[in-house]
């Protein structure tokens, strides 16, 4: 089954970075992503600018985003206000987040998981009324930085309670997951919400991210979040580090015969470029090691 | 099937590092590896000291190595002279290397692959006469830094020509491999040398190393090389970077229910310690991110 890489660098990649980028650089990042073959891009978060200053210009970024045929944009929203901002920006879909533990949910969104699930029902309905797909991310599904293990049964209960999504994204927000968890959670998500396609979101915090991505592809998960450069993190999760890198993931999948449509060399150059813009060293490795065969 | 981690930091981890460590630090590294639960350790290379200065004190390191019950040492040898040096050091086994491409073989060992295979037959016989297991690594089995792709058929031919080994180690010396290659090469090795157990050796140069390790374990490969700290590289392979890290691999396997016997916390502390000794930042991530659950 083909695997689609969802480029989340413009959202999850940037939101934790101290260096605030000008809107023009964010638009150039989108252009480079499109040029490298990415076709589904999480371009922004519609959240409170005081909480995540990097996302304050979300509307301006999307207004200037390149819009060639076949490219769709999604954005993170955490409430109805964010959903309505998103609906004004010509997006194909929105992505809402329910955090799998109450403690982390309180810190991330200021509400319990139950409150967040109730709000998801409203956001989901409003998104559909606005003609957008509504995708649901279960954050910290593989473990919580505050309360430790998150049981698969708990994730199953959340998904059973959640309004039906167009897509369920299983997120290892803090990079603690391993392939055996991917297999279990994929089965749970498919069982709880059979109408939904499946997506996964991995951070490479403990070097398990790419192995998890391979496990996801082998277990019916058809979309994988990744960020050009492997930049990223969560402002409200301690010691969270980068997303798996688009270029390294595309190298792995392309070379395994699972064509992603991503031009790995262009993606690697963009990974180096965005890291330069941020004044950091990209966690992605392909930009340093080079493609193979050269 | 259980997977055994073979600690190769004292050999492959150190051989490419510019900072020459005192013998006492190398012995302390072995002690820390043993204390962290490693039971099979590639402790040195018996090669020409002018070519690999870090390995000049191989005999002294092994003379002082901790020898609790259950711990076995192996060492890299590239010719009969190295084999005889190893035989004097109370080793359980030796590991000989045949490089899968002639060009790389010439640069690494100053001989063609065919010459190297002929020499393996002599080394293998001599090792057995000295009461040691003889393991054979096929280096650059996943790709060559000089000539590009290495076909699985070529690896199959080499293994068919090679004297029967006690173990075949499939090595991705330059970190270009992907899981689909692991599956193919494991089948080839099993078919060509059915008497041998299988081992694999991965570098994380392009972030595929841990996914390859998971694929290896799923395809009947029962031993995986790794280095504490994820240090390492090859002196004669351009842009080669570290081995997969013992602590990160053990975290992944232990958390997946494949107990390795490795104390991940002790291993992570040693990864940080050896990087400090070398004046580098360890590629391993667990020492920075911390164990989960904490």
Question: B237 versus A116: which is more confidently predicted?
Answer: A116
**DSSP string covering A40-69, please?**
EEEEEEES-TTT-GGGTTHHHHHHTS---T
Beta strand ranges found along B52-177 (DSSP E)? 72-77, 93-99, 133-139, 167-172
Beta bridge partners of A41: A7, A73
Q: Which residues of B touch A290 (CB under 8 A)?
A: 239
The 10s digit of each residue's pLDDT in B5-48 is 999 999 999 998 888 999 999 999 999 999 999 999 999 999 99
Q: Given CB atoms, is B151 within the 8 Å cutoff of chain A?
A: no
Q: Shortest CB distance from B251 goes to which of A206, A213, A215?
A: A206
CATH number at residue B203: 3.20.20.70
Which residues of chain A are within 8 Å of residue B215 when distances are taken between CB atoms? 214
Domain tally, chain A: 1
Q: In this model, does residue B259 exceed pLDDT 60?
A: yes
Q: Chain centroid to CA A231: how far?
A: 12
Q: What is residue A261's predicted lDDT score, i.e. its pLDDT?
A: 97
Residue B294 lies in a domain: no
Cis peptide before A280 (omega within 30 of 0): no
Question: Is the ipTM above a cut-off of 0.90?
Answer: yes
A275 in reach of chain B (CB within 8 A): no
Tokens of B190: 């099993």
**To which residue do tokens 């304050």 refer?**
A56
A-B contacts (CB, under 8 Å):
109
Beta strands in A92-213 (DSSP E): 93-99, 133-139, 167-172, 197-202
In a domain, A172, yes or no: yes
In this predicted structure, what is the pLDDT of residue A108?
A: 86
Q: Does A210 touch chain B (CB under 8 A)?
A: yes
**Residue B265: pLDDT band with limits 50, 70, 90:** very high
In a domain, A50, yes or no: yes
Strands (E), B110-247: 133-139, 167-172, 197-202, 223-226
* Contact call for residues B3 and B258 (beta carbons, < 8 A): yes
Q: Chain B contact for A172, CB < 8 A? A: no
**pLDDT for position A60:** 98
- Interface-testing mutation among B141, B204, B211, B230, with chain A (most A C-beta atoms within 10 A): B211
Contact at CB, A293 and B149, closer than 8 angstroms: yes
Task: Mark yes or no for CB contact A179/B206 under 8 Å.
Answer: no
CB-nearest partner of B252 from A178, A214, A294: A178
- Least confident piece of the model among A204-218, A260-274, B110-124, B239-253: B239-253
Show residues of chain B in contact with A294, CB under 8 Å.
148
Q: Which of A176, A213, A241 sits opposite B292 (nearest CB)?
A: A176
Burial letters A113-127, b for 16+ CB under 10 A, else e: beebbebbeebbebb
How far is A129 from A7, CA to CA, in rounded Å?
Answer: 26
Rounded mean pLDDT of B260-285?
95
Q: Is A210 close to B205, i.e. CB distance below 8 A?
A: no
Q: Is the residue at A294 inside a domain?
A: no
pLDDT one-digit tens code per residue, B184-215: 999 999 999 999 999 999 999 999 999 999 99
State the pLDDT at residue B281: 87
Residues linked to residue A46 through DSSP beta bridges, in sequence order: A77
Segment among B46-60, B186-200, B236-250 with least mean pLDDT: B236-250
Interchain pair A214, B211: CB under 8 A: yes
**How confident is the model at residue A18, as a pLDDT?**
85
Instruction: Give chain B positions within 8 Å (CB) of A181.
Output: 255
The answer to whether the Cβ–Cβ distance between B175 and A214 falls below 8 Å is: no
What tokens does B147 get?
């000539």
Domain presence at residue B204: yes
Distance from CA of A175 to the nearest CA of B (A): 9
Contact B176 A292 (CB under 8 A): yes
**pLDDT of chain A along its 294 residues, tens only?**
789 999 999 999 999 888 899 999 999 999 999 999 999 999 999 999 999 999 999 999 999 999 999 999 999 999 999 999 999 999 999 999 999 999 999 998 899 999 999 999 999 999 999 999 999 999 999 999 999 999 999 999 999 999 999 999 999 999 999 999 999 999 999 999 999 999 999 999 999 999 999 999 999 999 999 999 999 865 565 555 799 999 999 999 999 999 999 999 999 999 999 999 999 888 999 999 999 998
Phi, psi dihedrals of residue B140, rounded to the nearest 5° = 55, 30
Asked whether the beta carbons of residue A245 and residue B204 sit closer than 8 angstroms, the reply is no
- Chain B positions touching A252 (Cβ under 8 A) are 178-179, 206-208, 211
Residue to substitute from B173, B178, B181, B224, interface A, most A β-carbons within 10 A: B178
- Does the beta-carbon distance from A293 to B148 stay under 8 Å? yes
Q: Could you say which of A178, A207, A252 has the minimum Cβ distance to residue B178?
A: A252
Per the structure, the complete domain to which residue B281 belongs is given by: 4-289
Cβ contact B76:B44 at 8 Å = yes
By CB atoms closer than 10 A (0-12, 13-18, 19+), residue A238 is: exposed
Mean of the pLDDT values across residues B270-278? Answer: 96
pLDDT digits (tens, 9 = 90+) for B216-228: 999 999 999 999 9
Q: What are B165's two structure tokens?
A: 């080994």
Tell me, yes or no, whether A177 lies in a domain: yes
CA distance B58 to B61: 5
- % chain A with pLDDT above 90: 91
pLDDT at residue B239 tops 60: no
Positions of A annotated as catalytic residues are 234
Check if B215 contacts A (Cβ < 8 Å).
Answer: yes
Q: Report the SS3 class of residue A253.
A: helix
The pLDDT score that the predictor gives to residue A234 is 58
Q: Is B259 on the interface with A (CB under 8 A)?
A: no
**Interchain CB distance below 8 Å, A257 and B289:** no
Contact A225/B at CB under 8 A: no
Q: How far is A286 from chain B (nearest CA, A)?
A: 5
Is the separation of the CB atoms in B84 and B212 below 8 Å?
Answer: no
Instruction: Report the pLDDT value the prediction gives residue A239, as an integer from 0 to 100.
Output: 56
Q: Which chain A residue is nearest to residue B268, measuring alpha carbons?
A: A206
Q: Distance from A207 to chain B by nearest Cα, in Å?
A: 6
Q: What is the pLDDT of residue B2?
A: 82
Q: How far apart are CA A150 and CA B201, in angstroms?
A: 33
pLDDT digits (tens, 9 = 90+) for B130-148: 999 999 999 999 999 999 9
What single-letter DSSP state applies at residue B10?
A: I
């Amino acid at each position: 089954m083909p695997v689609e890489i969802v480029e989340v660098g413009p959202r999850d990649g940037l939101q934790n970075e101290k260096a605030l980028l000008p809107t023009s650089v964010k638009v150039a990042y989108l252009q480079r992503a499109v040029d490298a073959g990415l076709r589904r891009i999480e371009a922004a978060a519609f959240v409170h600018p005081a909480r995540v200053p990097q996302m304050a210009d979300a509307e301006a970024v999307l207004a200037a985003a390149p819009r060639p045929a076949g490219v769709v944009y999604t954005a993170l929203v955490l409430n109805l206000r964010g959903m309505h901002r998103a609906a004004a920006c010509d997006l194909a879909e929105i992505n809402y987040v329910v955090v799998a533990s109450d403690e982390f949910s309180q810190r991330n969104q200021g509400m319990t998981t139950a409150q967040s699930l109730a709000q998801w029902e409203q956001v989901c309905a409003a998104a559909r009324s606005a003609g957008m797909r509504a995708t649901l991310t279960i954050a910290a599904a593989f473990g919580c930085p505050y309360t430790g293990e998150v049981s698969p049964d708990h994730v199953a209960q959340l998904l059973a309670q959640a309004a039906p999504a167009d897509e369920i994204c299983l997120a290892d927000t803090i990079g603690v997951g391993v392939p055996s968890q991917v297999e279990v959670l994929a089965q749970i998500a498919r069982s709880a919400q059979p109408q939904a396609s499946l997506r996964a979101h991995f951070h490479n915090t403990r070097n398990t991210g790419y192995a998890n991505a391979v496990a996801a592809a082998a277990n019916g998960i058809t979309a994988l979040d990744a960020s050009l450069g492997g930049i990223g993190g969560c402002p409200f999760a301690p010691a969270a580090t980068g997303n798996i890198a688009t270029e390294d993931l595309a190298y792995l999948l392309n070379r395994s015969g699972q064509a992603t449509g991503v031009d790995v060399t262009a993606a690697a150059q963009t990974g180096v470029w965005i890291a330069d813009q941020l004044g950091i060293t990209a966690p992605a490795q392909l930009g340093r090691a080079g493609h193979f065969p050269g």
